[in-house]
Structure 1
Amino acid sequence: MDPEPTAELLTIDQLAERTGVTVRNIRFYSGRGLLPPPRLRGRTGLYGPDHIARLQLVGELSALGFTLSAIERHLERVPHSAGPEELALQLALLTPWAPEPLEEVERKELDRRAGRVLDDADVEKLVAFGVVQHLDDGRVRLQGPGALAAGLDSLDHGLPADFWQRSHEVIEQHTAALAEDLMKLFQDQVLQPYRDAGRPAEERTRLAAALSHLKPVTVQGVVTAFGRAVNRNIRERVDTEKEPGDAAG
């Protein structure tokens, strides 16, 4: 897709500086077909907004844990003719659900962030909570700071690690099913009508803006629904456990 007359064109060095992707990686991605060829001005290759947007999309997919082969498969569905707006929409489909960045830290750094010295049993409990993961070199992979704070709070309450581990497994099981159902609903009622309409340009900005609100609205809905379900479950258990004479009181 040709850029607008006012679109800024960059050399490969300028593109690397703008996006934070090395020249070597830009050339590698181009060789794998992840980027369209540059526009030639004489013998100089020039890159436009569509190249920037595509590199941002590659970076987001990589940050989400996609392998290079998976990134290639994903981008096969995004033709080289796609402009910056279409690529921005593709990025918006991913960004709202990007997790907090993972950090790999030494045990001493974990202690510093915890504000106290953690023994091996404490760390194993944090692993059970899903807060940290062991790495082969003795370091740990740490979730976001909010996860560590919640994990430390759980440590202080003294419930057995097995309880937290099994709780984590139950949550993973049910949230995976919830995510699958919600994504199918989104595909059927939002994305597919957009595709069937020919991906109208005027819909892209509106969809991208709506997607930025999807995560907080969904998370709040899950928290609210879960709270209601727990309260309902508590009431039902209390009613079931009442002695026959209690009802008269």
Structure 2
Amino acid sequence: MNSQVQQDANNADDAADDKAGTADGDGGRYRREELARAAGVKVRNLRYYQERGLLPPPRREGRIAWYSDEHLGRLRLIDDLLGRGYTVNGIAELLQAWEEGGGLAQLLGLEREMTRDWVQEEPVTMTMAELREMFGPGGTAEDTRRAAELGYVRVDGDTVTHRSRRLLAATLTLVRQGVPMAEVLDAGAFVQAQAAAVADRFVGLFRTYVVGPDGLDRLSATQLRQITEAVAELRPVAGEVVTAEFARAMARRVDEEVASLLHTEHRTEQ
């Protein structure tokens, strides 16, 4: 259908819908404007999606086009994908690839389950003057710049936001104990690299033994649901393993350091 014919059809639909009235959608039945309003999109966007094949055609009663909850769900799915950075062409390809299996919604639900709740931090926002007062001479403009590069802070004009109240408190404790800020940031960069390696290992195990070699595109809705449940179980386990192993390593290292200090003290006394 060429663009002029499509436009004529759209105009005819609008006229019929206007004549039929504008009562709210009832029982999963929506006229064009009602559907657009329920989905939070503009009518012209709805038309565009329909022209591009992203939206199934409505059911018609005479000249009135009726849309359903299925259309509403599809529009919300399109909006979700657009918000994730997909292009309209990319969405069309995804929808085409998943049309028969009907698994796209489950896959997106799995993605949300995989990525939510891993980071539960309270950000702290302050002025640059308050930051300087907090750290005193222990923090410089160069330190702030590097902290921003490492992702610890975000600078917006004269306002600074630290992403984690707990990490901010830990940093402040170290600095007040005499550790230079540059050394704290070096340690932070090291921890980030090690944490990334641990995360890679966990994700690799999950990918190999839970998801399997075929990936997600051939999994049924039941299998996707099982993987979602596995992710929920993995989240606390991963944190507990890392915490426990770090505690053991710190205990061993502190014992070694104390023994070394005692040995040095004994030799000095002799």
Which of the residues 211, 229, 240 maps onto 1:220? Answer: 240
- One-letter identity of the residue aligned with 1:49: G
The percent identity for this pair of structures is 19
Aligned mates of 1:28, 1:101 — CA distance in 2: 42
Q: Over aligned residue pairs, what C-alpha RMSD do you find?
A: 4.6
TM-score with structure 1 setting the length: 0.63
Q: 1:14-163 to 2 correspondence within 5 Å?
A: 14-16=38-40, 23=42, 30=49, 36-42=54-60, 43=65, 47-53=71-77, 55-56=79-80, 59=83, 62=84, 76=94, 79-81=97-99, 82-83=102-103, 84-97=105-118, 100=121, 107=127, 111=130, 118=134, 121=137, 122=139, 124=141, 128=147, 131-135=152-156, 137-163=157-183
Q: 1:19-38, CA deviations, whole angstroms, 9 ceiling, x for partnerless residues?
A: xxx5499769959x8x9325
Cα distance, 1:25–1:138 mapped onto 2, change above 3 Å = farther
Q: Residue 12 of structure 1 aligns with which residue? A: 36
Q: Which has the larger radius of gyration?
A: 2
**Matched positions, count:** 218
Unmatched 5+ residue regions in structure 1?
1-6, 17-21
- Preserved contact between residue 122 and residue 165 of structure 2 (Cα < 8 Å): no
- Preserved contact between residue 96 and residue 212 of structure 1 (Cα < 8 Å): no
SS at match of 1:134: strand
- Preserved contact between residue 100 and residue 144 of structure 1 (Cα < 8 Å): yes
Aligned mates of 1:98, 1:24 — CA distance in 2: 37
Q: 1:80-125, CA deviations, whole angstroms, 9 ceiling, x for partnerless residues?
A: 423433331232222244565878x5627x94xx8x9547755755
Which of the residues 187, 201, 208 maps onto 2:207? Answer: 187
Aligned mates of 2:39, 2:43 — CA distance in 1: 12
- One-letter identity of the residue aligned with 1:88: G
Aligned mates of 1:228, 1:157 — CA distance in 2: 24
Aligned mates of 1:94, 1:162 — CA distance in 2: 31
Q: Residue 4 of structure 1 aligns with which residue? A: none
SS at match of 2:58: strand
Unmatched 5+ residue regions in structure 2?
1-26
